[in-house]
Amino acid sequence: MFEERLNSWVWLSWLAFLAGLWLIVSPFILGYSTTTTAMNNDVIVGAAVVTLSLITIVWKRLTASWLSWLIALVGIWEIAAPFLLDYTSTTVAAWNGAILGVIILILAGARGLNLQGAATQRYGPTFPSEERPKKEEKEGS
């Protein structure tokens, strides 16, 4: 059951991965690479989202929901960054950051909500798919 939940929601991590890639290349495609604050923020945040998303894809059982919540926090930062780093005058960069931040927040939050409680299951004795048959007691002992 738990393995099925992990596998059925991994596509959200792939979409977050693609959103991170877009953040990395968007300053150059959308033409705000001369605004160094916006460009640096988007490249760093994009690299973080790409890296964290790949970790959730490869080690999905070990990272479960906590890493998805970390990616969601990065999405919140991306929403707030134009205001906190004061590059709202670059409209394209500000809108790109806000929209991608919302997308990342929704994707990572949905995965985190779906896998809530997975960390406590991970430390249980076994997962249902890994249950081992009980050893039969030998007769006459």
Exposure string over 50-83, b if 16+ CB within 10 A, otherwise e: bebbebbbeebeebbbebbbbbbebbebbbebbe
- Which residue in 20, 131, 121 sits closest to 64, CA to CA? 121
pLDDT single digits (tens) 83-135: 999 999 999 999 999 999 999 999 998 888 877 765 444 444 444 455 555 55
Q: What is the DSSP letter of 110?
A: H
Q: Is the pLDDT of residue 40 over 60?
A: yes
With beta carbons less than 8 A apart as the criterion, state whether 64 and 119 touch.
yes
Residue 79: per-residue pLDDT: 97
Q: Which range, of 6-10, 60-64, 75-79, averages the lowest pLDDT?
A: 60-64
